[in-house]
Amino acid sequence: MTDEPSGRNLDGDAPVAEAVVETEEATITEDAELERTIGLTGGLAIGIGTMIGAGIFVFPGLAGGEIGTAASASFAVGGLIALLVALPTSELATAMPRSGGGYYFISRGLGTLAGTVIGLSLWLGLVFATAFYLVGLGYYALDALAQVGVTVGVGTDALVSAIAVFAGVAFTVLNVTGTENAAKLQNAIVALLLSMLVAFLGYGLLEAFGFVAVDTPPGQAVDVWEAVPILSVAALVFTSYLGFAQVATVAGEMKDPGRNLPLAMVGSVLIVTVLYVLTIFIATNIFTRDALLSAGETAMVEVGRALLGPAGALVIIVGGLLATMSSANASILSTSRAIYGVSKDALLPRWASRINLRYGTPHVALGMAGGPVIVLAATGQVQLLAEVASFLHLIMYGLMCVALVAIRRDRPEWYDPDFVVPGGPVVPVLGALASFGLIAFMDRLSIAVGVAVIAVTAGWYFYYARDVSLKGAL
Amino acid sequence: MTRVLVPVAVLERESVSPGLISLLGTVDVTLLGYHVLPEQTPPDQARLQFEERATAALEDLREDFAAAGGEADHRLVFTRDREQTVQRVAAEVDADAFAVTGAVGDVDRLLVSLSGDVDVDRVLSFVERLVGDREVGVTLFLAAGAGSPADAAADAPEGTAPDDADRARLEAAADRLREAGVEATTELAESGSPFDALIDAAAGHDAVVMAERAPSFRSLVFGDEGERVAAASVGPVIVVRDAESDASAAGTRTGREE
- On the question of pLDDT at B252 being above 60, the answer is no
**B121 and B217: one domain?**
yes
**B89 and B166: one domain?**
no
Task: Give the DSSP per-residue string, B170-208.
Answer: HHHHHHHHHHTT--EEEEEE-SS-HHHHHHHHHTT-SEE
**B143 and B179: one domain?**
yes
* Helix, strand, or coil (residue A70): helix
- On the question of pLDDT at A222 being above 80, the answer is no
In a domain, B152, yes or no: yes
* Helix, strand, or coil (residue B109): strand
b/e for A378-399, b at 16 or more Cβ within 10 A? bebbbbbbbbbbbbbbbbbbbb
**B123 and B80: one domain?**
no
Is the dihedral angle over the CA atoms A438, A444, A445, A448 positive or is it negative?
A: positive
pTM value?
0.83
* Helix, strand, or coil (residue A306): helix
CA torsion, ordered A67, A70, A75, A81, to nearest 10 deg: -110
In 3D space, the residue among A216, A265, A373 whose CA is nearest the CA of residue A44 turns out to be A265
**B242 and B119: one domain?**
yes
In a domain, A7, yes or no: no
Chain segment B65-98, per-residue pLDDT in tens: 999 888 899 999 999 888 899 989 999 999 999 9
Chain segment A283-317, per-residue pLDDT in tens: 888 888 888 888 778 888 888 888 888 888 888 88
B222 pLDDT band, cuts 50/70/90, is low
- On the question of pLDDT at A212 being above 80, the answer is no
Looking at CA atoms only, how far is residue A35 from chain B in angstroms?
5
Residue A237 structural domain: 21-464
CA distance A391 to A385: 10
Q: What is the pLDDT of residue A181?
A: 57
A269 neighbors A79 (Cβ within 8 angstroms): yes
Q: What is the pLDDT of residue B15?
A: 85
Q: Say if residue A296 is exposed, middle or buried (CB neighbours under 10 Å; 0-12, 13-18, 19+).
A: middle
Chain segment B145-170, per-residue pLDDT in tens: 654 444 444 444 444 455 778 888 88
Q: What is the pLDDT of residue B219?
A: 67
In a domain, B50, yes or no: yes
Task: Give the DSSP per-residue string, A98-161.
Answer: -TTTHHHHHHHHH-HHHHHHHHHHHHHHHHHHHHHHHHHHHHHHHHHHHHTT----S-HHHHHH
A432 pLDDT band, cuts 50/70/90, is very high
Which chain A residues contact residue B44 at CB under 8 A? 27, 34, 98-99, 252, 340, 344
CA distance A5 to A7: 7
Q: What is the pLDDT of residue A211?
A: 67
| Strands ordered across the beta sheet of B97-100 | A21-22, A26-28, A33-35, B72-79, B28-36, B3-8, B97-100, B237-240, B207-211, B109-113, B137-143, B184-189
Looking at residue B219, which CATH number applies to its domain?
3.40.50.620
Residue B116 structural domain: 109-246
Average pLDDT over residues B208-215: 83
**B97 and B159: one domain?**
no
B97 neighbors B241 (Cβ within 8 angstroms): yes
- On the question of pLDDT at B31 being above 80, the answer is yes
Answer yes or no: do B44 and A98 touch at CB < 8 A: yes
Answer yes or no: do B84 and A35 touch at CB < 8 A: yes
Counting the structural domains of chain B, the total is 2
A1 pLDDT band, cuts 50/70/90, is very low
- Of the residues B101, B117, B143, which one is the last residue of a structural domain? B101
DSSP A8: -
Instruction: Tell me the pLDDT of chain B averaged across its residues.
Output: 82
**B76 and B164: one domain?**
no
Chain segment A157-201, per-residue pLDDT in tens: 888 899 999 999 988 888 888 756 566 677 788 888 888 888 888
CA distance A403 to A108: 8
Q: Which of A18, A33, A176, A353 to mutate to test the interface with B (most CBs of B within 10 A)?
A: A33
Q: Are strands B184-189 and A26-28 parallel, antiparallel or unpaired?
A: unpaired
Which chain B residues contact residue A181 at CB under 8 A? 38-39, 80
In 3D space, the residue among A72, A73, A100, A102 whose CA is nearest the CA of residue A85 turns out to be A102
In a domain, A421, yes or no: yes
Higher pLDDT: A333 or B55? It is B55
Q: What is the pLDDT of residue B148?
A: 47
Distances (CA, A) of B233 to A79, B104, B156, B226: 57, 11, 28, 10
In a domain, A34, yes or no: yes
- On the question of pLDDT at B102 being above 50, the answer is yes
Q: What is the pLDDT of residue B153?
A: 43
Looking at CA atoms only, how far is residue B222 from chain A in angstroms?
17
**B32 and B135: one domain?**
no
Q: What is the pLDDT of residue A180?
A: 62
Average pLDDT over residues A224-251: 86
- Determine which helix (DSSP H) or strand (DSSP E) holds B5, and give its type and residue range: strand B3-8
Q: What is the pLDDT of residue A179?
A: 57
Distances (CA, A) of A181 to A43, B31, B96, B118: 15, 25, 31, 33
Q: What is the pLDDT of residue A372?
A: 92
In 3D space, the residue among A110, A1, A35, A100 whose CA is nearest the CA of residue A404 turns out to be A110
Average pLDDT over residues B93-109: 88
Instruction: Tell me the pLDDT of chain A averaged across its residues.
Output: 86
Which residues, 6 or more positions from B152, have their beta carbon under 8 angstroms from its beta carbon?
A: none
- Of the residues B49, B67, B101, which one is the last residue of a structural domain? B101
Q: Lowest mean pLDDT of A10-19, A39-48, A436-445, name the range.
A: A10-19
- On the question of pLDDT at A338 being above 80, the answer is yes
**B30 and B54: one domain?**
yes
A401 pLDDT band, cuts 50/70/90, is very high
Which residues, 6 or more positions from A185, have their beta carbon under 8 angstroms from its beta carbon?
A: none
In a domain, B75, yes or no: yes
DSSP A396: H
**B74 and B127: one domain?**
no
**In this predicted complex, what is the ipTM?**
0.81
Q: Lowest mean pLDDT of A69-78, B35-44, B49-58, name the range.
A: B35-44
CA distance B102 to B35: 18
Higher pLDDT: A186 or A202? It is A202
Phi, psi at A180, each rounded to 5°? -70, 145
Looking at CA atoms only, how far is residue A319 from chain B in angstroms?
24
- On the question of pLDDT at B256 being above 60, the answer is no
- On the question of pLDDT at A3 being above 70, the answer is no
A149 at B interface, C-beta within 8 A? no
* Helix, strand, or coil (residue B35): strand
CA distance A206 to A201: 9
- On the question of pLDDT at A27 being above 90, the answer is no
Alpha helices in A148-288 (DSSP H): 156-177, 183-208, 227-237, 246-249, 257-286
Counting the structural domains of chain A, the total is 1
In a domain, B130, yes or no: yes
A316 neighbors A308 (Cβ within 8 angstroms): no
- Determine which helix (DSSP H) or strand (DSSP E) holds A27, and give its type and residue range: strand A26-28
- Per cent of chain A over pLDDT 90 is 31
**B96 and B138: one domain?**
no
Average pLDDT over residues A85-112: 88
Looking at CA atoms only, how far is residue B75 from chain A in angstroms?
7
- On the question of pLDDT at A43 being above 60, the answer is yes
- Of the residues B101, B128, B154, which one is the last residue of a structural domain? B101
**B94 and B114: one domain?**
no
Higher pLDDT: B153 or B56? It is B56
Length, in residues, of chain B: 258
Which A residues, 63 through 102, put their C-beta within 8 Å of a C-beta on chain B? 98-99
Looking at residue A186, which CATH number applies to its domain?
1.20.1740.10
